[in-house]
Structure 1
């Protein structure tokens, strides 16, 4: 599963930089998802990481 997590992390960071908005990487069961942070209303415990393109320390 670490390969899937690494892939999801890379895509989440790229999406945040492309859209120039913070995005949330979350896990639902054994799958990962990414969405704009302001639209996420899911379980806070499911959040793996938030990627903010305006904060360079990731």
Structure 2
């Protein structure tokens, strides 16, 4: 696992827990992004993972 992916995953999980809303971690080329799931309208194939703070398994 790359260091950038690991950092992106930690930040996505923390953001979901802080905002208490589901967020998606997505990748475009070599960059990662995180945004609220309900606002994501990008390509489904770019989603790495969705973090839901209300789900017992993340």
- TM-score band by shorter chain is over 0.9
Report deviation, 1:44: 0.3
RMSD: 0.9
2:17 match: 17
Structure 1 residues without counterparts, runs of 5 or longer = none
* Structure 2 length-normalised TM: 0.96
**Alpha-carbon displacement from aligned partner over 1:1-46 (angstroms, at most 9, x marks no partner):** 7100000000000000000000000001000000000000000000
Report deviation, 1:56: 2.2
Structure 2 residues without counterparts, runs of 5 or longer = none
4+ runs of 1 displaced by more than 2 Å? Answer: none
